[in-house]
Amino acid sequence: MDKSIKVAVIGAGTMGTGIAQLAAQAGHAVKLFDACADAVPKALGGLEKTFGKLVEKGKLTTDAARTILGRLVPSADLKDLAGSDLVIEAIVEDLPVKKKLFADLEALLPKDALLATNTSSLSVTAIAGACARPERVIGLHFFNPAPLLPLVEVVPGIVTDASVAADSMELMRTWGKTPVICKDTPGFIVNRVARPFYGEAIRIYEEGLADMVTIDHAMKSIGGFKMGPFELMDLIGNDINFAVTKSVFEAFFFDPRYRPSITQQRQVESGRLGRKSGRGYFDYAEGAVAASPSADQELLRDILSRILVMLINEAVEALHLGIASRDDLDLAMTKGVNYPKGLLKWADEKGLDLCLATLDGLQAEYGEDRYRPSPLLRRMVRERRTFY
């Protein structure tokens, strides 16, 4: 697949606009369609401004900006997309609506066209179920903002052709992205493996072991994370983070490891959504005074250790279940959510025996399945193996 393939993007919201920009920057002719008549002109207007700023900053010449913008073609009718080689869907996150769109698209497109979905929480296999040729359907899960964040999770459904997955990986590389391949399971890699970053942090807070500022401080100052869990939840939006947590929990048939917290639900119910509402776990009003974190080094180390072993356990379990390879799991967390280190590499450095002992200790203390160690972790300790 090269620059000559014709791309179409459906849904001109946050993600679709970013994906259309990327495809145009990579040299493709891109059609953009949205069910809402205002959305495409608004998206293209926004992109003109984005490129105007890049020209102002000297990052792009006026000619180059004009060429890229010229590749973007608004479409007022789904039928205009006939003849596209690759269609990327980024519409509302609703299974029946996506299925109907995929069935309609398949009737329009050439038989060998590739149909991709940017869904973050639905099953690619379920969406492909609406198609007569599900082997041509794949998940291409970009991260927001799509033009800037390098990671793309490439998600074949259970009947997707191996060649479709290989072509998608190759195409994402030509777009300058870092693609990883993962199984069609809830949360894919990042949204699954990252759950304890939030969940265990909230749990530590709920138990009164530390306040939010201190928990964030531990993760940043000792862990090397760019942001702490609470400030990151405030940035993502507590409503969005809570929705992802609930959806992963339900999709795993209520596995206690992914159980959402009442603390987060209360935040959402009270409208404390984070930065966007001016207040979340922290206050973003002008003049608001931030509390100081505890300087108790032992407490900070305990906080980091507890959250980190939970993250490591999640990554090990994902490897155990064949969700992704060792390298892709580590790449996903460093490129998708900026973790300072891959979790499996971190596990080796920390010592697998220590990770296992910490989890066993937590499980014995709480008696909760939430802390059950992955069988792979136990086996590796028994066999004295490491991931790298």
Answer positive or negative: Cα dihedral of 42, 44, 48, 49.
positive
Q: Does 343 bind ligand NAI (CB under 6 A)?
A: no
Among 65, 81, 101, 333, binds ligand NAI (CB under 6 A): 101
Q: Does 21 bind ligand NAI (CB under 6 A)?
A: no
Which of the following is catalytic: 84, 120, 123, 247? 120
Q: Both tokens of residue 164?
A: 């479709």
338 a catalytic residue: no
241 a catalytic residue: no
120 a catalytic residue: yes
Give me the helices (H) in 321-351, please. Answer: 326-336, 343-350
Which of residues 127 and 376 has its CB atom nearest to ligand NAI in the complex? Answer: 127
Q: How far is the CB of 11 from ligand NAI (least distance, A)?
A: 3
Q: How far is the CB of 283 from ligand NAI (least distance, A)?
A: 24
When CB distances to ligand NAI are compared, the closest residue is: 13
Which of the following is catalytic: 28, 141, 217, 314? 141
Q: Is residue 207 a contact partner of residue 286, using CB atoms and an 8 Å limit?
A: no
Q: Does 14 bind ligand NAI (CB under 6 A)?
A: yes
Q: Does 92 bind ligand NAI (CB under 6 A)?
A: yes
Q: Does 76 bind ligand NAI (CB under 6 A)?
A: no
- Rounded CA gap, 356 and 68, in Å? 52
247 a catalytic residue: no
Q: Is residue 333 a contact partner of residue 194, using CB atoms and an 8 Å limit?
A: yes
Tally of CA atoms within 13 A in the half-sphere of 266 that contains its CB: 6
Angle between helix axes 14-25 and 62-70 (nearest 10 degrees) is: 120
Q: Is residue 299 a contact partner of residue 210, using CB atoms and an 8 Å limit?
A: yes
* From 9-17, 147-155, 205-213, 353-361, span contacting ligand NAI (CB under 6 A): 9-17
Q: How far is the CB of 386 from ligand NAI (least distance, A)?
A: 33
* From 141-149, 278-286, 319-327, 361-369, span contacting ligand NAI (CB under 6 A): 141-149
Question: Which residue(s) pair with 114 in the sheet?
Answer: 86
Q: How far is the CB of 169 from ligand NAI (least distance, A)?
A: 18
Angle between helix axes 297-320 and 352-366 (nearest 10 degrees) is: 100
Q: Please enumerate in sequence order all residues whose Cβ is within 8 A of that of 251, keeping only pairs 6 or more positions apart, or say none.
A: 121, 186, 187
Q: How far is the CB of 145 from ligand NAI (least distance, A)?
A: 8
Which of the following is catalytic: 118, 168, 191, 241? 191
Among 8, 9, 12, 131, binds ligand NAI (CB under 6 A): 12
Q: How far is the CB of 125 from ligand NAI (least distance, A)?
A: 15
Q: Does 36 bind ligand NAI (CB under 6 A)?
A: yes
Among 9, 20, 90, 319, binds ligand NAI (CB under 6 A): 90
CA distances from 88 to 3, 32, 50, 368 (A): 16, 10, 21, 41
Kindly provide the b/e burial profile for residues 116-130, where b requires at least 16 CB atoms within 10 angstroms of the residue's own CB.
Answer: bbbbbbbbbbebbbb
Residues that bind ligand NAI in the complex, under the rule CB under 6 A: 10-16, 34-36, 39, 90-93, 97, 101, 118-120, 142-144
For the annotated catalytic residues, the residue numbers are 120, 141, 153, 191
